[in-house]
Amino acid sequence: MSAVGERLLQREIVLRLQAGPWPVVAAAIPNGVWLPSHSEDERRLVGRLMRRMKDDGMLTAGAPDLVVLGEAGGLYLELKRAAERDLFGKRTVRGQLSEAQREFRRRCEGAGVPYVVATSWQEARDALLAHGLI
């Protein structure tokens, strides 16, 4: 799954949770910004803006894609592409957690906060069911 595919999955999960009968709130965690720059001056400005956002805690390395909260608690949900086969039968690799994401997951586990990696709506739904959120 490309970044576009991951965004589509994120949107699908949020929309399904909003449309469903479940008393949960799903919020995307903005952890990246794409700012086009066409000149050296613009690149310096974008660099300053990104450094400021990181310094102010607005961008957190390894933060998951979604946080889902409900009466029974909450969980962090990281979305990755599923392993699949292309048109020629070649298997693509499943999305992997980066080192920053693994560190964030370790911090969550240490704090007793559920952290789930999902590759589809079905996996996300199963995790939400298992944690009593839906």
Q: What is the pLDDT of residues 24-62, one digit of tens each?
A: 999 888 766 677 888 999 999 988 988 888 888 888 888
The pLDDT, as a whole number, for residue 2 is: 63
Residue with tokens 């576009």: 4
The pLDDT, as a whole number, for residue 32 is: 66
Residue 115 CA to residue 109 CA, distance in Å, equals 7
Question: Residue 127, by phi and psi: left (phi above 0), alpha (psi -120 to 50) or beta?
Answer: alpha
Mean pLDDT of 103-126: 95
The pLDDT, as a whole number, for residue 58 is: 80
The pLDDT, as a whole number, for residue 92 is: 67
The pLDDT, as a whole number, for residue 7 is: 83
Residue 21 has pLDDT above 70, yes or no: yes
- How confident is residue 126, by pLDDT bands cut at 50, 70 and 90? very high
What average pLDDT is seen over the chain? 87
Distance of CA 33 to the CA centre of its chain: 14
- How confident is residue 105, by pLDDT bands cut at 50, 70 and 90? very high
- How confident is residue 1, by pLDDT bands cut at 50, 70 and 90? low
